Amino acid sequence: MISSQSRAELTVEVTLGVENAIPIAIVPFGGPQPGENLAGIVAADLARSSHFKVLSESQMPERPSTPEQVQFALWKALGQDNLVIGQVRQGGTGRYEVQFQVFDAVRGSQLASLSLPFAAEESRKTAHRIADLIYHLLTGENGVYATRIAYVTVANGDGPIDRRYVLHVADADGFNPQDVVKSREPIMSPAWSPDGKKIAYVSFESKRSAIFIQNLANGEREKVSELPGINGAPAWSPDGRQLAMTLSKDGNPEIYVMTLSNHSLRRITDHFAIDTEPAWSRDGSQLVFTSDRGGKPQIYLVSADGGQPQRITYEGDYNAGAAFSPNGKSLAMVHGNAGDYRIALMNLASKQLRVLTKGSLDESPSFARNGSMILYASQNGGKAELTVISTDGKVRDKLRIDGGEAREPAWSP
């Protein structure tokens, strides 16, 4: 079971501005509320998208909480396209209900009115659901604010024996971090199951690499591979029935696929080079992986049944750690050139590659489930941290962590 205690605290810092975004005002909700005002969480969520430009509370001309209190001329004069208001009512002990409305502030018309019941401890989760509903209403796309992220922190003590590795799960905005597993030995490569209920990861707790699958609800875990040599880079198939991985049981790191029902293995690659970091296409028919068979690490594509791999990256000295976008039309990857390692996006149809980040040691890209943002690890002043960037490059958020360096993030389905 996930521990509710964690020393890792994450806060969001928006580091890039937004142009040509939808102006929207999220008015603080009226009524009694446990903890933070729900509207503040909703506003912070939407501000992390390049689709919205959220009005600051200090600029609001009024604080309506019911439709009849709204003076649309005031909001229209401020250039706001949309307006969100809400009211929270307390029910039984620890129970609440929030009713909120979304308006077209230009036309003065109501677009939606919804009510959500919630318990006091679910206030942040409820706010994320509201943000997802608003995002979908105004963009037509599914939101990602009620999803979660996984990541590993490494905290160094006075010596190697005091080093601590912790696999965490947190809300998509970095709040509510919880511990999944702790170890004095390295923990690596967390990967979410398609239903978001389990995480596969690599642990060296027995002084050798092993791949585990852990149930997040009850903490139960299963060791699925501890073969001689490397057991690494687990990746779930889209149907959750198979796990691609890197194994060197036959002497060389190769890509294998394991059927989870019986742990049978199917070898995908067969080459003297190092093949690693598999990732599935969205239909499960293909895998991409990293290989240095051409002399330097590059991305290759192969059928999930095996066969002759096809090299698909040629630009730059280094391309690795690829991940398919949710629509299957592009790949995010670590792109290295002249000693800098940055996150890049490649269109699979045109093979055109676009560099998104400006760091020197960016790694481990992971898409949000709607494809609008990418989570990755970066270095800032020698300290590792997590960063989210929109796929158009217009918005970047830093998730600052106290209690250790952050590595290998993964965004849940």
Name which of 48, 26, 28, 161 is nearest 391 in CA terms. Answer: 48
Give me the helix-helix angle, 123-139 and 38-47, nearest 10°: 50
**Structural domain boundaries enclosing 244:** 148-411
Confirm whether 14 is domain-assigned.
Answer: no
Below-70 pLDDT ranges, the chain: 1-19, 157-161, 400, 402-403
Rounded distance, CA 164 to CA 110, Å?
52
- Taking only Cα atoms into account, the Rg of the chain, rounded to an integer number of angstroms, comes to 23
Confirm whether 235 is domain-assigned.
Answer: yes
Say which CATH number the domain at 102 has.
3.40.50.10070
Name the domain boundary from 105, 139, 173: 139
Same domain, 212 and 68: no
Name the domain boundary from 139, 166, 200: 139
Same domain, 92 and 181: no
Same domain, 309 and 372: yes
Same domain, 207 and 284: yes
- In three-state secondary structure terms, 63 is coil
Q: How far is CA 51 from the centre of its chain?
A: 18
Rounded distance, CA 351 to CA 345, Å?
10
CA distances from 346 to 226, 333, 342, 373 (A): 34, 8, 13, 14
Rounded distance, CA 166 to CA 391, Å?
29
Rounded distance, CA 180 to CA 167, Å?
5
Residues contacting residue 87 through CB under 8 Å, at least 6 positions apart: 29, 30, 31, 65, 66, 98, 99, 100
CA distances from 71 to 53, 77, 86, 103 (A): 21, 11, 15, 11
* Sign of the torsion angle spanned by Cα atoms 176, 324, 234, 397: negative
What is the per-residue pLDDT for 48? Answer: 86
What is the per-residue pLDDT for 155? Answer: 86
Same domain, 125 and 190: no
Same domain, 218 and 315: yes
What is the per-residue pLDDT for 338? Answer: 86
| Domain tally, the chain | 2
Say which CATH number the domain at 326 has.
2.120.10.30
Same domain, 227 and 313: yes
State which H helix or E strand residue 55 sits in: none
Residues contacting residue 208 through CB under 8 Å, at least 6 positions apart: 226
What is the per-residue pLDDT for 224? Answer: 98
Same domain, 274 and 184: yes
Confirm whether 377 is domain-assigned.
Answer: yes
Each residue of 315-356: pLDDT tens digit? Answer: 999 999 999 999 999 999 999 988 899 999 999 999 999 999
What is the per-residue pLDDT for 16? Answer: 54
Same domain, 183 and 325: yes
Confirm whether 63 is domain-assigned.
Answer: yes
Each residue of 89-121: pLDDT tens digit? Answer: 998 888 999 999 999 999 999 999 999 999 999
Name the domain boundary from 109, 139, 169: 139
What is the per-residue pLDDT for 4? Answer: 45
CA atoms within 13 A on the CB side of 379: 10
Single-letter amino acid code for the residue at 378: S
